[in-house]
Amino acid sequence: MARIVIVSNRVPTPGRRGVQPGGLAAALGDSLRPGTLWFGWSGRVVAETPTRAELVEHRGVAYAMIDLSESHYRGFYAGFANGTLWPLLHARLGLMEFERADLEGYVAVNRAFAAALAPLLRPDDLVWVHDYHLIPLGAELRALGVQNRLGFFLHVPFVPASIFGVLPCADLLLRALMAYDLVGVQSEQHRRDLRNAMDEILGARAAAGGRIYVGEQSTRIIANPIGIDAAGFTALAERAAGRREAKRLAESLVGRALIIGADRLDYSKGLPNRFEGFARFLHRYPEFRQKVSYLQVAALSRADVKQYQALRRELDRLAGDINGRFAEFDWVPLRYMTSALPRATLAGFYRMARVGLVTPLRDGMNLVAKEYVAAQDPRDPGVLILSKFAGAAERMADALIVNPYDADSITDAIARALTMPLAERQRRFETLAHEVRTVTAQSFYAAFCAALAGTPVRRLALAEKGAA
Ligand code: F6P
């Protein structure tokens, strides 16, 4: 069987337990097999970007990690990836900034990744590149003569062509995607949007087998939703429920119902809207005061990007407002924290929570929604409140679906969740749990690798063309 080579900006620190950066690393980590090579950024910023990656082996998986220079880091990560592409792909044009210098840094880092990765590749490797940080990597590898099958997966949403077209280098990025043999996105909606962008911006032509052509290059775009290790997460939640942290939380609740949210502190997560929905809930349903406690974990993220700093200030203010307005001497309605919690601790908290609030303004998938469901006790499950703009909503219609732009819809859903009869909670849980157990981290991984392995090999295609 071919070796799988994963490439992503973040690489989970081999052997580290507890908090790992982001759902991508956790979901891929759950499916890793010995023999895999995982290549990416070390997380370190140094004086100069080196030409070689440092290799570490852990449990049969090889990790190759490269440091970045300060200026590369700024242009690539804080600049183009998170200052331009992230807001664009989350349809927040007002927050998008574009500088040609950042784009140059982005391409330079992709080139440096390609140069350090190419010598590590074996001819039959299946190379699977992840997320918006690394769109040009495939084209950079091809420029170095790499002929392996190359796949790309976009973990974040895609946007309608008219929005993507606002990006001054929209055509350059779409062309770069054409260097991959297979491109995956989270949902049918995002697949349609990317396909349309290929048509409208590059004039792509459709061919047999779902492939598209732009000039001589061809690729296929598939929707392949990501999931979690559902059985593993359920077991984690069951164990965690008996641990010290869960007991401490339970004691502090003194019988009140727990509402939980856990997100990176990111403007795509809709946290101000969620806080507003909760404040209106306390206002419109005073009978619930003293009876609920809302814990929002908003783990600090990308703290050197100014939009994130502004959001943090806004949330600090809103949290203060809510507690100032509604708290009583023996009750604080909103517990808001910006430090991250280990996945196992969160799993125990999810199990205890009567309501899971997952209300992003836009999200590729959102694995918290799936983790919340997997953590529930089937005999007495909590209720998931889910934004219609999370990729997860496409296949999780039995959650209480809300439009997070309408704070009242969050308010109503909280009230409905807290009063939902057990039989309805169980019925909804069963269908949601079925989805979470069917579309898992493992099925995501296996389906993408199988589809990539099934794509035609480029060098043969080229050789055949030459012979014809
Ligand atoms: O899921 C989207 C994503 O950007 C991942 O690529 C990333 O690892 C995660 O969110 C966390 O973001 P960051 O790597 O910027 O901390």
In our burial notation (b when 16+ CB lie closer than 10 A, e otherwise), range 398-412 reads: bbbbbebeebebbbb
Ligand 1 mean position, distance from CA 7 (Å): 13
Ligand 1 mean position, distance from CA 21 (Å): 7
Left, alpha or beta for 126 (phi > 0: left; psi -120 to 50: alpha)? beta
Residue 302 near ligand 1, beta carbon < 6 Å: yes
> Both 321 and 245 in a single domain?
yes
User: Taking 90 as the threshold, does the pLDDT of residue 108 lie above it?
Assistant: yes
Residue 219 near ligand 1, beta carbon < 6 Å: no
> Both 241 and 327 in a single domain?
yes
Residue 10 near ligand 1, beta carbon < 6 Å: yes
> Both 152 and 169 in a single domain?
yes
How many angstroms separate the Cα of 56 from the Cα of each of 37, 66, 398? 10, 11, 43
pLDDT in tens, 161-172: 999 999 999 999
> Both 421 and 457 in a single domain?
no
User: Taking 90 as the threshold, does the pLDDT of residue 27 lie above it?
Assistant: no
> Both 262 and 300 in a single domain?
yes
Q: How many residues would you count in the chain?
A: 468
Residue 155 near ligand 1, beta carbon < 6 Å: yes
pTM of structure: 0.95
Is residue 58 part of the annotated active site? The answer reads no
The number of the ligand 1 atom at minimal distance from the alpha carbon of 264 is 11
> Both 432 and 383 in a single domain?
yes
CB 391 within 8 A of CB 365: yes
Structurally, how many domains does the chain consist of?
Answer: 2
- Say how far apart CA 72 and CA 43 lie, in whole Å: 12
Ligand 1 mean position, distance from CA 24 (Å): 7
Please, which pLDDT band fits residue 26 given cuts at 50, 70 and 90?
confident
Average pLDDT over residues 291-297: 98
> Both 28 and 155 in a single domain?
yes
Residue 363 near ligand 1, beta carbon < 6 Å: no
Is residue 155 part of the annotated active site? The answer reads yes
Average pLDDT over residues 201-225: 95
> Both 201 and 72 in a single domain?
yes
User: Taking 60 as the threshold, does the pLDDT of residue 467 lie above it?
Assistant: no
User: β-pairing, 355-358 with 211-214?
Assistant: unpaired
The number of the ligand 1 atom at minimal distance from the alpha carbon of 86 is 4
User: β-pairing, 217-223 with 182-185?
Assistant: parallel
- Say how far apart CA 118 and CA 142 lie, in whole Å: 10
> Both 357 and 276 in a single domain?
yes
User: Taking 60 as the threshold, does the pLDDT of residue 460 lie above it?
Assistant: no
Average pLDDT over residues 346-363: 98
Tell the residue number behind the tokens 């809302």, with chain if given: 294
Average pLDDT over residues 256-285: 98
Ligand 1 mean position, distance from CA 254 (Å): 36
Residue 362 near ligand 1, beta carbon < 6 Å: no
Average pLDDT over residues 313-335: 98
- Give the H or E element holding residue 159: none
The domain of 385 spans: 230-438
CATH for 334: 3.40.50.2000
* Catalytic option among 72, 130, 155, 190: 155
Ligand 1 mean position, distance from CA 131 (Å): 8
Nearest CA to ligand 1 atom 15: 302
**CA neighbor of 390 nearest in space, from 362, 369, 370:** 362
Q: How many Cβ atoms sit within 10 Å of the Cβ of residue 257? A: 17
Ligand 1 mean position, distance from CA 266 (Å): 10
> Both 221 and 178 in a single domain?
yes
Tell the residue number behind the tokens 């009140």, with chain if given: 256
Q: What is the mean pLDDT of the chain?
A: 95
In our burial notation (b when 16+ CB lie closer than 10 A, e otherwise), range 315-328 reads: beebbeebeeebee
Nearest CA to ligand 1 atom 14: 10
Residues 6+ apart with CB under 8 A from 290: 256, 328, 331
Residue 265 near ligand 1, beta carbon < 6 Å: no
Average pLDDT over residues 219-239: 97
Task: For residue 9, give the 3-state DSSP assignment.
Answer: strand
Tell me the residue type at 280: R
Query: Which residues sit opposite 10 in a β-bridge?
Result: 41
- Say how far apart CA 12 and CA 24 lie, in whole Å: 9
Q: Work out whether the CA dihedral 362, 364, 365, 369 comes out positive or negative.
A: negative
> Both 155 and 279 in a single domain?
no
Average pLDDT over residues 112-141: 98
pLDDT in tens, 402-456: 999 999 999 999 999 999 999 999 999 999 999 999 999 999 999 999 999 999 8
Which token pair is 153? 């997966």
Supply the DSSP string of 294-326, one letter for each residue. Answer: EEEEEE---TTSHHHHHHHHHHHHHHHHHHHHH
- Say how far apart CA 298 and CA 314 lie, in whole Å: 13
The number of the ligand 1 atom at minimal distance from the alpha carbon of 132 is 6
Nearest CA to ligand 1 atom 3: 22
The predicted structure's pLDDT at residue 417: 98
Helices (H), 118-256: 137-143, 161-164, 170-177, 188-202, 230-240, 244-253
Nearest CA to ligand 1 atom 8: 22
CB 63 within 8 A of CB 57: yes
> Both 100 and 113 in a single domain?
yes
